[in-house]
Amino acid sequence: MTDLLAELTEGARADARAREQALPLERIEAAAVAAAPARDALAALAPADRVKIIAEVKRASPSRGDLAEIPDPARLASLYEEGGASAISVLTEERRFKGSLDDLRSVKSTVSIPVLRKDFVSEPYQVLEARAAGADIVLLIVAALHQTRLRTLHDLIVGLGMTALVEAHTAEELERALELDAKLVGINARNLKTFELDRDLFGTLAETIPSGVIKVAESAVAAPKDVAHYRQSGADVVLIGEALVTSDPVSTLTTFLAV
């Protein structure tokens, strides 16, 4: 079976290296340092008396193909903010998700809530370009990275004033995430090597996440009952993409937030 995560990570790395040919490391590092300070994602996503939602700008995925054209990501993100989202996730992977850093830039310039760069990050250059583009949060997928590289990237993200969303989908990966002292931890119901879904995985793993860590449930959300399921299983935050880009985002968010 093809390891989709490895394929996606290598493709994203190759694309980043191509961008580095046009904009060398020293220049992107200077741009990252010069960027306006990152927004406080931990404050925005802190546990509350109701679930919080990270709403995703997502055109396509390897598992479902094309989802929505999204000609104006900033407009969609504005609707998400209007609907009550606490943060915006922007897929910037180009090959299979049809996203870009330009999407992230346009979203960041429009909304007042934190923006997540969701991509297959494995190189410091990708972290620096995320900050230069305005990202407040950067996704790190434990399954894609050796622990030394995972720690290096986590520390760089934090050092640049951003927040790392450290994503796991097994007990061993969660243990590795917690070794970093990560403050924002995601449990993805989708196995990124096979793309199979297990909606109950979050509840199984979340019990071992210590207090003080914000718990994010990812994937397998199609209806309010799915958000309620995650909330009852201990989720502070739910990340939602497909269900929003294929519906009226404001009304759907309103319904999801009412659980």
Q: What is the pLDDT of residues 117-159, one digit of tens each?
A: 999 999 999 999 999 999 999 999 999 999 999 999 999 999 9
Residue in 93, 129, 173, 218 annotated catalytic: 218
pLDDT band at 1 (very low <50, low <70, confident <90, very high): very low
**Residues 218, 57: Cα–Cα separation, whole Å:** 14
The CB density around residue 163, as the number of other CB atoms within 10 Å, is: 26
Q: What is the pLDDT of residues 37-62, one digit of tens each?
A: 999 999 999 999 999 999 999 999 88
167 catalytic, yes or no?
Answer: yes
Catalogue the E-assigned strands of 76-202: 87-91, 115-118, 137-141, 163-168, 184-188
Measure CA of the first residue to CA of the last residue in the chain; give whole Å: 38
Residue in 52, 108, 118, 215 annotated catalytic: 118
Residue in 167, 173, 215, 242 annotated catalytic: 167
> Quick one: average pLDDT of 223-247?
96
Residue in 61, 86, 122, 188 annotated catalytic: 188
Residue type, 95: R
211 catalytic, yes or no?
Answer: no
> Quick one: average pLDDT of 153-181?
97
94 catalytic, yes or no?
Answer: no
> Quick one: average pLDDT of 61-67?
88
56 catalytic, yes or no?
Answer: yes
